[in-house]
A and B are shown apart, each in its own frame.
Chain A
Amino acid sequence: GAGVSQSPSNKVTEKGKDVELRCDPISGHTALYWYRQRLGQGLEFLIYFQGNSAPDKSGLPSDRFSAERTGESVSTLTIQRTQQEDSAVYLCASELGANYGYTFGSGTRLTVV
């Protein structure tokens, strides 16, 4: 597709369950980023993939969070044993190359009840 695609767009889950969020970047974009945006807040960096290099995981808030990306394709963000404080919009972005500027997906709104 022409843009960054994220699925699902909305997810409601029970506390303690695992969830998996998907991001399909723009074809040819080497970099992929995950951010978290709590209600009314700014963007909090989670993880960054650049080509086949080791990802920058410095923003992951706990070991319940993990992400994978195979090559320059789809990425999945997994949250294990979800907590209510995980409720947020999770935004994915991809970038053609360094410093070009991100193209964002529409995000996944996660609600933990």
Chain B
Amino acid sequence: AQTVTQSQPEMSVQEAETVTLSCTYDTSESDYYLFWYKQPPSRQMILVIRQEAYKQQNATENRFSVNFQKAAKSFSLKISDSQLGDAAMYFCAYDSNSGYALNFGKGTSLLVTP
């Protein structure tokens, strides 16, 4: 089974600054998908960004972008111009192209300070 590792249990960033959350994964597959999800205190999981492994271009969604390094099996999330509403748990997830459920990392708790 593929493992997803988020090595930072907690991160802190000041409002308007930039923060990068790390994620690495272990797989022998060449075709797969990667996701970042946000879980605010309301506990509703929200899809932040999606990356297709066969695409070399890094995905971006407004202030959120990823640095996808396929050879290194790394998939970090960069949040630019951080806002108080970005405070949440962030989960990295691996999606096999073989029909299995998403495999999630343990999450990184992001604190945004004024």
Please name all residues of chain A whose beta carbon is closer than 8 Å to the beta carbon of B64 when the two chains form the complex.
Answer: none
The total of interchain contacts (Cβ-Cβ below 8 angstroms) comes to 50
Given the contacts A99-B97, A101-B35, A42 and B91 also touching, CB distance less than 8 Å = yes
The answer for the CA separation of A48 and B96 in the assembled complex, in Å, is 14
Total residues of chain A contacting the partner, CB 8 A: 23
Which residues of chain A have C-beta atoms less than 8 A from B105's C-beta?
42
Instruction: Please state if B101 and A91 are interface contacts (CB–CB under 8 Å).
Output: no
The 6 closest A-B pairs by CB, nearest first: A104-B45, A42-B106, A43-B104, A99-B33, A48-B101, A45-B101
Interface CB pairs A-B, < 8 A, 20: A35-B104, A41-B106, A42-B105, A42-B107, A43-B91, A43-B102, A45-B103, A48-B100, A56-B100, A89-B43, A98-B97, A98-B99, A99-B95, A99-B97, A101-B33, A101-B35, A102-B45, A102-B47, A107-B44, A109-B43
